[in-house]
Amino acid sequence: MQIDVVNMEGEKVGQMEVADEVFGCKVREHLLWEMVKAQQAARRAGTHSTLTREFVRGGGKKPYRQKGTGNARQGSTRSPNFVGGGKVFGPHPRDYEYTLPRKVKKAALASALSLRAQEKKLVIVERLVMETPKTKRMAAVLKALGVDSAVVVDGKDNGNLVKSVRNLSTFTCLPPEGLNVYDILMHAGLVIAKDVVKAVEARIVGGGGEATA
């Protein structure tokens, strides 16, 4: 499929042939959901912890005698049925991360890219070159491109671009190998430098690339 290529002023300067398997495939919403769920699970700290009765301090003395009080027998005031006692089946530190099959990751990333292409919110820019890190200049460029919120994708060696974008709250700058489903869906638009389009495609249709979480 053909997609227009624009310059940093938003003017059309040509067209580019992109892979249909990446930017023109059917959007499979259930895969987007699976991928976002997996990414959010991987980001969970999992540091929650509760104290069972063996870890609650005190309660070593039997609260009252075994028989003759009319109460149920008790061996410790730190058992779960006492206020201040331990917790039963409470959460403990754990890792929530899990891995999806490689084919699912690639298909989910292709669906996210195709969704932005179908919505006409994918912008391919001829070059994203900043002479010096300038947030104000970058904001003007993104406004000219017609995006209020977007993931900006270019090579990780483009340090001036990264520094220019990082102070813009509604934009995120990522290298092609870091492009992911969650960030694409969390931003309304997608801006990709022409030189890295093939690198994005290689992650999905290439031999060894993998769509990471």
Q: Are residues 174 and 188 in the same domain?
A: yes
Could you report the per-residue pLDDT of 88-130, keeping only the tens digit for each?
Answer: 999 999 999 999 999 999 999 999 999 999 999 999 999 999 9
Does residue 7 sit in the same domain as residue 109?
Answer: yes
Specify whether 84 is located in the same domain as 172. no
3-state per-residue secondary structure call for the chain: CEEEEECCCCCEEEEEECCHHHHCCCCCHHHHHHHHHHHHHHHCCCCCCCCCCCCCCCCCCCCCCCCCCCCCCCCCCCCCCCCCCCCCCCCCCCCCCCCCCHHHHHHHHHHHHHHHHHCCCEEEECCCCCCCCCHHHHHHHHHHCCCCCEEEECCCCCHHHHHHHCCCCCEEEECHHHCCHHHHHHCCEEEEEHHHHHHHHHHHHCCCCCCCC
Same domain, yes or no, for 118 and 174? Answer: yes
Residue 212 is predicted with a pLDDT of 57
Both 192 and 128 in one domain: the answer is: yes
Same domain, 74 and 131: no
Whether residues 116 and 194 share a domain: the answer is: yes
Please check whether residues 201 and 121 belong to one and the same domain.
Answer: yes
pTM: 0.84
Looking at residues 173-200, what average pLDDT do you find? Answer: 97
Residues 155 and 193 in one domain: yes
Across the range 135-142, mean pLDDT stands at: 96
37 and 54 together in one domain:
no
- 193-208 average pLDDT score: 88
Please indicate, yes or no, if residue 210 is contained in any of the structural domains. no
Structural domain including 121 reads 2-44+97-205
The pLDDT of residue 59: 87
Domain count, the chain: 2
Give a yes or no: residue 130 inside a domain.
yes
Which pLDDT band, with edges at 50, 70 and 90, does 211 fall under?
low
pLDDT, average across residues 65-74: 94
Query: Phi-psi region for residue 120, left (φ > 0), alpha (ψ -120 to 50) or beta?
Result: left
